Structure 1
Amino acid sequence: MISSLNQILEQYFQDNSGLEKGFPSLKFISAKLGVSQRYLNDLLRSLTGNTTQQYIQQKVIEKAKELLSVSSLSVSEIAYQLGFEHPQSFSELFKSKTHFSPTEFKKSFD
């Protein structure tokens, strides 16, 4: 199940679905997996200790780190590509999870 979830998220990022569909949601992921939202949440919590939303956020941050370190995209462009409606929301989540702003993280690779 986790492998399938990771594949769905990776495809979501590769297709730049965030630009059109927004941030990947529990509803979207559970529908793709063909399970209820509650089942998916309970399963992930028992296997990883995280809710589905926390797990998705973790994967989004991993992808953001990748993009910030290797691409020439701006922080705002990355935020939109990952499904954030507002770059500030992306910056807040990134900083809360990494203790660095996206800009600080990106500058460390320049």
Structure 2
Amino acid sequence: DRAQMTGKTASKFNDALRKYIGEGLLEKNGLPNVAFLADQLFVSPRYLSDLLKQETGKTAMELIHIFMISEAKNLLRLGEKGVAEIAYELGFENASYFTRLFKKQTGMKPLEFRKSQMN
């Protein structure tokens, strides 16, 4: 229902992302895509992206990346896994793409981030 989505879209979107990860779909299917998440929220991918852009100023894909990089930061802080392992665990098909995306969002490479958190 379009009326119910407005204003709450970002929070429902993040809930759908958490559910995706919680149900183990990340390991099974890799990064979630906009079409899958739109389907979970019973709207079209285009409408979902439009609502999210209106609410947050970001596209659905940007929000997926922000969410995943936030998860990556948590894993990096723990210091138990290497960057490549974290990238694959979060559904990225290659570690170099993950590293570029991480740097684009945070201004530093994953290992630089980890070192900055250790001090």
TM, length-normalised to structure 2:
0.84
Task: Compute the RMSD of aligned alpha carbons.
Answer: 1.4
Stretch deviating more after TM superposition (6-15 or 94-103): 6-15
Q: 1:3 to 1:29 in 2, by over 3 A?
A: same
SS at match of 1:35: coil
Q: How many residues align?
A: 110
Structure ranking higher on relative contact order (CA contacts 8 Å, 6+ apart): 1
Equivalent residue for 1:59? 67
Percent of pairs with identical residues: 40
Q: Which runs of 4+ in 1 moved over 6 A?
A: none
Distance in 2 (alpha carbons) for counterparts of 1:104 and 1:14: 28
Distance in structure 2 (CA, Å) of the matches to 1:63 and 1:39: 26
| Partners of 2:10 and 2:56 within 8 A in 1 | no
SS in 2 for 1:108: helix
Distance 1:37 1:89 in 2: 24
State the AA in 2 paired with 1:94.
F
Structure 1 unmatched ranges of 5 or more: none
Structure 2: gaps spanning 5 or more residues: 1-8
Q: 1:41 to 1:95 in 2, by over 3 A?
A: same
Matched, 1:42 2:50: yes
Counterparts in 2 of 1:67 and 1:14: CA distance versus 1, 3 Å:
farther
Of 86, 89, 101, the match for 1:81: 89
